[in-house]
Amino acid sequence: MHNIEYVLASVFHIDKGPSLVQLYPAEIPGLSKLQFFAELMIPDQIHKRLEDYTLFLLHRNFSSGEFEYKYSPTESEAEPYFVYTIVNNVEDAAVRRGSVIKALSIVTRLVYFKHFEPLLLIAMNSYINGNDLRVLCDLYEAINGKDFCINLQKMTVIKRLLLTSILDLPLNEKIYQDETFRNKLLGITAPNPDLFIRKDLSYNSVVSFNNMEIPVKVPILLLPDTIGDYLNPTDLNFKSNFINLIRASLATFHHNREITVYGAATPPIMVLINAMLTGKRILFVSYDNSAGYIIDHVLVTLKLITGGGILTDILTNYNVFPLVDVSKVDLLASCDSFLAGTINPLFKGNDALWDVLYDLDANEMHISSRLAETENPKCSIIAEDAHFLSSLQLSLFNYNDDLTTIQFIIRRHINQLVRVLLSQRNFVSSLPEHKQYKLLMDGVGYYWFADSTKLEEMACYQSVITKFQELLFAGKFNYTLMLPRISNELNLIIDLQHHLQKIHTATLVPQGGPRVNEREIWFNILKYLISGKSVETFMLLTYLIPPQTSSSLSSSLHSGNITIFDRNKGMELVVLSLFHEDERVKSSVLMILEKVQDNFLCGWCFKSFMESNLMYRLAYEELSRRPL
């Protein structure tokens, strides 16, 4: 596969509007059917700015080979193509409008397309004064002349999620400094001489273009439905745009039980999450800001809802249009759900075209009158939502945490919210596709320590639950941690999250309530752990268990600075049971820790954790010396 498939150039003519003028190495298949293609390359209001960028997606029909704007589950290739464009507006008194507007695009499947921006800017500098096809050719050859492949053995999504969830141990530092460790961990069989490691956990390659050596960052690993580099999301202005979302207001008289679950008090970030989870038509609009500003907000929303690989297939099935204009009204009308951005303010006045509109200029969200219900929902905020908002605001505003911590807070919330919405349907033994699996222990779905709490929270989200389950089982979304997907090699499954959560909240069970059988839980977890895959799944889920409170602690990842991070997560959730009063529990936990140590990544986590926690290390060493 080429790094980029095509290089395109377009210009804006004052009488004719945008037009595609040159393509290399050939014409895009199906271009004649892609109406108003050049309009997507040159955005509205570009005359107000010196430069901008645009993005839209294309989907290739695997039968005809032609590109299309809209994804088809039965006819399109699984991965989309990204058309990433930079646009320049250069003053020129010799032309009628007083400026020359040109755009250069690359068409690629690489999700880190924005890392090619410096190369596109240099190419534009050469192309702006003339329409020299050689510039497009040289850019195409320069980018495709490099090998950006890291030569990884196929790494499971579970392992990638685990690698990006370990924030309490100095894993990043170890990967950067120890090449042997890095190669074994990532499955690098033959190091690529075109790449060298960076301290921020990405690779650098150097592309020779226009007599210059231009560095290009290559992500060390990729996650499903994640645009850019998950470990370094600075290219989306992630933090500032996310703060905008947190500070948005809900400016609407219309309410809907699938979106505004708390009525007028529903935080806008919850409005956006609920709208996505129930398949709504979501439109971002800004007349005063650049196209790039709008697109970055759309991509940050995508990052929010996927949880960095927790929910997948959104990039294709949901219909993502980072930037559209009025020529795409019919395209939007053909979609039952979409996530889109636009500069044109005419969309705001026609709420038949959207269900939820985010006005970026006013930082306000609006609900379409077509969704309005007479009854205003009046639920109290559920514990998971309350904790998420609290953690997020503390992380963003009090502790000024790094981006990976913020993303982890989002990931954990999306995972727990999906578990609430799935309820008991995470595994249904009566379904034909589930009959091959054996459930080791009763107990499936999100765990509530009190039935009254469960009834209140389920009632609050009932409309969202119904719609989300309908979309999930229809294939609109995929949940990475559905129980059948995390079975071990013997097709044994156990809802680790349910039972670990049960252990973690055991102290909250009211007196006289059901007693948590920790002996049975740890014994069945031990039966489940038969290989590296199951051990890595177990370790990942210990990190994703929801906390009861937000605790501040000093983390080695943050150079000893105070950060928002939740205690009793990861390895600590397991080793706490070394102090359990039940000898059988301690015995099971000891054997579990032996299996953890047999796995390369999890074994390193265990060793690193014990080196920095004397109390747990002494307890483990003492128990290990005892005969089982």
Per-residue pLDDT, 400: 73
| CATH class as words, domain 1-145 | alpha beta
* Token output for 290: 């650049």
Residue 402 φ then ψ, to 5°: -75, 170
- Write the pLDDT tens digit of every residue in 603-615: 999 999 999 999 9
- Coil, strand or helix at 212: strand
Mutual angle of helices 451-460 and 383-393, in 10-degree steps = 80
Cα 505 from Cα 417, distance rounded (Å): 17
Per-residue pLDDT, 513: 60
Per-residue pLDDT, 156: 92
* Token output for 400: 């000024």
Cα 526 from Cα 534, distance rounded (Å): 10
Per-residue pLDDT, 548: 59
Strand order in the sheet with 196-197: 196-197, 202-209, 212-219
* Token output for 335: 């979609």
Per-residue pLDDT, 211: 94
C-alpha triplet 93, 97, 102: angle, nearest 5°: 90
**Segments of the chain with pLDDT less than 50:** 549-562, 564-568
CB neighbour class for 94 (10 Å; exposed up to 12, middle 13-18, buried from 19): exposed
> In the chain, where are the structural domains located?
1-145, 158-222, 238-371, 436-445+471-625
Decide if domain 238-371 falls under CATH 1.10.10. Answer: no
The H-assigned helical ranges of 423-559 are 451-460, 462-473, 496-504, 518-528, 532-544
164-182 per-residue burial string, b: 16 or more CB within 10 A, e: under 16: bbbbbbebbeebbeeeebb
CB neighbour class for 556 (10 Å; exposed up to 12, middle 13-18, buried from 19): middle
Helix (H) or strand (E) holding 207: strand 202-209
Q: Which residues pair with 101 in a beta bridge?
A: 89
Cα 33 from Cα 401, distance rounded (Å): 47
With beta carbons less than 8 A apart as the criterion, state whether 278 and 396 touch: no
Cα 306 from Cα 373, distance rounded (Å): 28
With beta carbons less than 8 A apart as the criterion, state whether 316 and 80 touch: yes
Tokens 């590296």, residue?
A: 532
Write out the DSSP string of 14-57: TTTEEEEEEEESSPPTTGGGSTTHHHHHS-TTGGG-SEEEEEEE
Per-residue pLDDT, 558: 42
